[in-house]
């Protein structure tokens, strides 16, 4: 009888997801937001995603033997709760509550899980529940799916879990040992989130914009060192300025912010105009530098001996989505192998919690080959989606969809590309993508006009066939999941400027035939047509939406944009002829 482990994320209130292991193999993983069409799916449980995982695996709820969750009870005798109480003395209701009722969120989550299990027809009595501490779930997601024989230094930088938000540990022989943790409110991600909020963006979605604008600023033009203190060993935020709660929070229009009035007095009013203006662009540069400096300092201090011994570093947590931090870590001389989990946000803890449970049962996890873990759809389902749409798109079944897509791309047309199983994680990796020719004049303006409406300073990322990547990217930065950026030569910057950022870097996906033969074939067809083995690759969604999941989602998105062409499995989908421009 197989061991079936269902991992469920979403305990901290956002990014619910489900992941399913059969014995030691990850067979499915789906994010709830993709199914309910609400980004981050705040306040939801992973009901639809769990059902989808079971359906993909051909299993029933009754087949589940273990449920793993990335949330665990924390003892009153742990440092975590006392640290939280001490650091929030100015809000005594919080301090008292954490000491006397510190696991109330966990108990509430257990009640919700019981109800969820009943809806999924999973036995609450015969299925074993495995609670995993939140940061250990993050750690497992990057370590257990990339386990080696040597010791691995593990760094998890996250917004919040039970109390811990920074985890430094060592993975060896399947075990994860804690070296050091830091607890709320002393959070690196919290520091970055506070400045994201101050710079006028929504937390969870705006951090990547702050990261993207940072190269345009000069960090030496402002001093943000008062936000956090790092003495070479310990880290502490100034919660008189950031990570504030209660009466310390700055309020405007009845909304409480993640920073205080004192921060506004120090830096000036919260940004309302152009982010490129002085001083805000320099604040973005300064907080990015501070974030990187502290993170590198923590890893060097607590994990430096492991890095000197093996050179192996794994990173996860929401803060690991910061590409510039990853670039900084991967460039450290003592780092020989750098591992970033492709779904390092809280959704990825569904995989991590389940992997932790499976490994603790003595089964070594099969290595992660790709992130195509969601549902796939037939041509018939795609045809039905076109037939029922109110705007009645035109469609035809193609004998050779790759060749047709390459032809359209070669002629300068952006193409929506929907084929195979849906990706898990934040990046479009070639199954749910908007693709374009990087050599087409004005292509960025065209994509922005037709669908994305992105700021002019935000670059697009390329997907590169591996035979071309060896000349384009340093070997250590040839990443399949768009988790790393790398410096590119001036020759390549001149040849492909639209995929190169202000600082001369690009965040590229290297596509290998063995891991994604379908997308590899398209890139090869495009290379044969044009001589160029790379394409611009953006997520198949409109601004503010989750990545499309079903053919119906794809047709809705396509008809709601000015895109002219979509490959939907083997279908070529177009608008009615009167609106077709090519």
Summarize pLDDT for 145-182 with one digit per residue, the tens.
999 999 999 999 998 899 999 999 999 999 999 999 99
pLDDT-derived band at 578, boundaries 50, 70, 90: low
Our count of domains for the chain comes to 3
- For residues 434 and 463, membership in a common domain is answered with yes
What is the structure's pLDDT at 580?
Answer: 47
E strand or H helix that includes residue 357: helix 349-360
Residue 574 has pLDDT above 90, yes or no: yes
Neighbours of 400 (CB within 10 A): 11
- For residues 321 and 350, membership in a common domain is answered with no
pLDDT-derived band at 581, boundaries 50, 70, 90: very low
- For residues 307 and 430, membership in a common domain is answered with no
What is the structure's pLDDT at 364?
Answer: 96
Residue 204 has pLDDT above 50, yes or no: yes
- Computed over every residue of the chain, the mean pLDDT equals 94
Q: Which of 456, 409, 404, 447 is nearest to 539 (CA)?
A: 447
Q: Is 500 left (phi over 0), alpha (psi -120 to 50) or beta?
A: beta
What is the structure's pLDDT at 576?
Answer: 80
Q: What is the mean pLDDT of residues 213-221?
A: 95
Residue 492 has pLDDT above 90, yes or no: no
CB distance 364 to 174 below 8 Å: yes
- For residues 493 and 569, membership in a common domain is answered with yes
- Domain final residue pick, 360, 388, 416: 360
Q: Tell whether the torsion through CA atoms of 377, 382, 388 and 393 is positive or negative.
A: positive
What is the structure's pLDDT at 73?
Answer: 97
Residue 119 lies in a domain: yes
Question: What is the DSSP secondary structure assignment for residue 450, as one 8-state letter?
Answer: I
Q: What is the mean pLDDT of residues 129-140?
A: 98
Could you check whether the bond before residue 279 is cis, i.e. omega within 30 degrees of 0? Answer: yes
- For residues 114 and 198, membership in a common domain is answered with no
Residue 373 lies in a domain: no
Six-digit token string for 366 = 């099969």
Helices (H), 427-516: 443-447, 466-472, 490-495
What is the structure's pLDDT at 478?
Answer: 85
pLDDT-derived band at 473, boundaries 50, 70, 90: confident
- For residues 563 and 473, membership in a common domain is answered with yes
- Can you give the pTM of this predicted structure? 0.95
- For residues 401 and 492, membership in a common domain is answered with yes
Side-chain half-sphere exposure of 315, counting CA atoms within 13 A: 26
pLDDT-derived band at 6, boundaries 50, 70, 90: very high
Give percent of the chain above pLDDT 70: 99
Give percent of the chain above pLDDT 90: 85
- For residues 349 and 317, membership in a common domain is answered with no
Question: How does pLDDT run across 341-379, given as a tens digit for each residue?
Answer: 899 999 999 999 999 999 999 999 998 889 999 999 999
Only one residue has tokens 């027809």, namely 121
Q: What is the mean pLDDT of residues 127-152?
A: 97
Question: What is the DSSP secondary structure assignment for residue 270, as one 8-state letter?
Answer: P
Could you check whether the bond before residue 185 is cis, i.e. omega within 30 degrees of 0? Answer: yes
Higher-confidence residue of 163 and 474: namely: 163
Query: CA-to-CA distance for 101 and 14, rounded, in angstroms?
Result: 22
Residue 475 has pLDDT above 80, yes or no: no
What is the structure's pLDDT at 474?
Answer: 78
Residue 579 has pLDDT above 80, yes or no: no
Residue 406 lies in a domain: yes
What is the structure's pLDDT at 582?
Answer: 43
Neighbours of 100 (CB within 10 A): 11
pLDDT-derived band at 459, boundaries 50, 70, 90: confident
Q: What is the mean pLDDT of residues 403-423?
A: 97
Q: Which domain holds residue 76?
A: 4-144+344-360
Higher-confidence residue of 177 and 474: namely: 177
Residue 72 lies in a domain: yes
Question: How does pLDDT run across 76-111, given as a tens digit for each residue?
Answer: 999 999 999 999 999 999 999 999 999 999 999 999
- For residues 568 and 419, membership in a common domain is answered with yes
Residues 6+ apart with CB under 8 A from 265: none
- For residues 491 and 503, membership in a common domain is answered with yes
Query: CA-to-CA distance for 399 and 384, rounded, in angstroms?
Result: 19
Residue 203 lies in a domain: yes
- For residues 256 and 399, membership in a common domain is answered with no
Q: What is the mean pLDDT of residues 558-570?
A: 97
pLDDT-derived band at 577, boundaries 50, 70, 90: confident
- For residues 355 and 328, membership in a common domain is answered with no
């Amino acid at each position: 009888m197989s061991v079936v482990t269902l991992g469920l994320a979403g305990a901290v209130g956002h990014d619910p997801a489900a992941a399913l292991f059969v014995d030691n193999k990850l067979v499915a993983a789906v994010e709830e937001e993709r199914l309910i069409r609400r980004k981050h799916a705040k306040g939801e449980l992973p009901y639809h995603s769990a059902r989808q995982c079971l359906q993909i695996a051909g299993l029933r709820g009754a087949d589940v033997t273990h449920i793993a969750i990335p949330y665990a009870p924390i003892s009153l005798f742990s440092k975590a709760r006392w640290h939280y109480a001490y650091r929030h003395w100015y809000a005594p209701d919080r301090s008292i509550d954490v000491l006397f009722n510190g696991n109330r969120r966990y108990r509430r989550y257990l009640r919700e899980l019981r109800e969820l299990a009943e809806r999924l027809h999973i036995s609450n009595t015969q299925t074993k529940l495995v609670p995993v501490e939140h940061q250990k779930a993050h750690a497992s997601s990057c370590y257990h799916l990339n386990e080696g024989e040597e010791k691995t230094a593990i760094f998890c930088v996250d917004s919040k879990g039970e109390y811990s938000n920074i985890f430094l540990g060592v993975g060896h022989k399947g075990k994860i040992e804690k070296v050091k943790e830091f607890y709320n409110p002393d959070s690196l991600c919290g520091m970055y989130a506070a400045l994201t909020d101050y710079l006028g963006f929504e937390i969870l979605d705006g951090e990547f914009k702050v990261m993207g604008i940072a190269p345009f600023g000069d960090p030496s033009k402002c001093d943000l060192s008062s936000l956090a203190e790092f003495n070479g060993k310990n880290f502490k935020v100034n919660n008189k300025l950031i990570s504030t709660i209660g009466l310390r929070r700055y309020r405007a229009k009845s909304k409480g912010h993640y920073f205080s009035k004192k921060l506004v007095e120090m830096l000036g009013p919260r940004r309302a105009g152009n982010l490129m203006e002085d001083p805000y662009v320099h604040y973005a540069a300064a907080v990015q530098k501070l974030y990187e400096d502290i993170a590198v300092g923590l890893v060097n201090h607590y994990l430096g001996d492991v890095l000197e011994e093996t050179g192996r570093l794994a990173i996860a947590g929401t803060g690991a989505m910061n590409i510039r931090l990853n670039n900084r870590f991967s460039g450290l001389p003592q780092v020989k192998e750098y591992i970033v989990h492709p779904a390092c946000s809280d959704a990825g803890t569904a995989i991590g919690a389940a992997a932790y449970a499976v490994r603790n049962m003595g089964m070594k996890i099969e290595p992660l080959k790709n992130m195509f873990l969601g549902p796939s759809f037939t041509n018939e389902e795609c045809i039905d989606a076109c037939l029922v749409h109110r705007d009645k798109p035109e469609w035809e079944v193609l004998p050779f969809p790759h060749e047709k897509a390459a032809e359209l791309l070669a002629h300068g047309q952006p193409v929506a590309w929907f084929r195979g199983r849906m990706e898990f994680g934040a990046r479009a990796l070639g199954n749910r993508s908007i693709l374009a020719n990087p050599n087409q004049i004005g292509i960025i303006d065209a994509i922005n006009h037709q669908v994305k409406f992105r700021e002019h300073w935000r670059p697009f990322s390329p997907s590169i066939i591996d035979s071309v990547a060896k000349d384009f990217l340093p070997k250590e930065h040839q990443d399949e999941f768009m988790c790393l950026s790398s410096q590119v030569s001036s020759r390549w910057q001149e040849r492909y400027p639209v995929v190169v950022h202000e600082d001369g870097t690009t965040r590229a996906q290297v596509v290998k035939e063995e891991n994604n033969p379908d997308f590899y074939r398209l890139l090869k067809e495009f290379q044969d047509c044009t001589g160029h083995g790379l394409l611009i690759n953006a997520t198949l969604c409109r601004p503010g939406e989750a990545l499309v999941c079903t053919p119906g989602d794809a047709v809705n998105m396509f008809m709601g944009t000015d895109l002219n062409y979509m490959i939907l499995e083997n279908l070529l989908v177009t608008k009615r002829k009167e609106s077709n421009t090519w």
